[in-house]
Amino acid sequence: MIKKIIFALSSGLLAGVVSYLYGDMIQTQLVEDYSKDVPTMAIFVSCLIGTSLATIGHWLFTKFIPKFGEFIFAIVFAGLTTASLIGVLGFVFKGETTEAHQYIFYCYAMPMHFFPFLAWYSLKSLFETK
């Protein structure tokens, strides 16, 4: 159990760090600032929630569907990750913003939505119990 918690937290933290670095790079390169729209804390918290839910989901799928649980979970996780992009597309900026700010947001936020998935699977083998 402890192992799973450490797995969820470490993969969430990894996803958060990668998201932060990626976001920082995009903002520097494209001279836009999203720190007011998406605070750093929100990035880390979202990543931690994502990987924690994934860990719980994985445990449930493999427990109750031992034969295909692993496969179904992977499909569901990938599907939900992709579906979460709707949130980025529908994001509405409050107050005065330029169109460049609104469009660059897509290439800023969309890749970030995949980082919890990638981080979770990257670290999975380290925490797998045989």
The residues that touch other proteins, with contacts defined as CB under 8 A, are 89-94, 96-97, 99, 102-103, 105-106
Tokens of 83: 């579906």
- Are 126 and 45 within 8 A, CB to CB? no
The CA-based angle 49-54-60, given to 5 degrees, is 130
Nearest to other proteins of 96, 128 (CB atom): 96
Nearest to other proteins of 33, 96 (CB atom): 96
Nearest to other proteins of 14, 112 (CB atom): 112
Tokens of 57: 């989901």
Closest contact distance (angstroms) between CB of 128 and other proteins is: 41
Closest contact distance (angstroms) between CB of 122 and other proteins is: 31
Closest contact distance (angstroms) between CB of 37 and other proteins is: 10
H or E segment at 69? helix 69-83
Closest contact distance (angstroms) between CB of 98 and other proteins is: 8
Nearest to other proteins of 99, 128 (CB atom): 99
CA distances to 9, 11, 26, 49, 103 from 127, in Å: 12, 11, 32, 18, 39
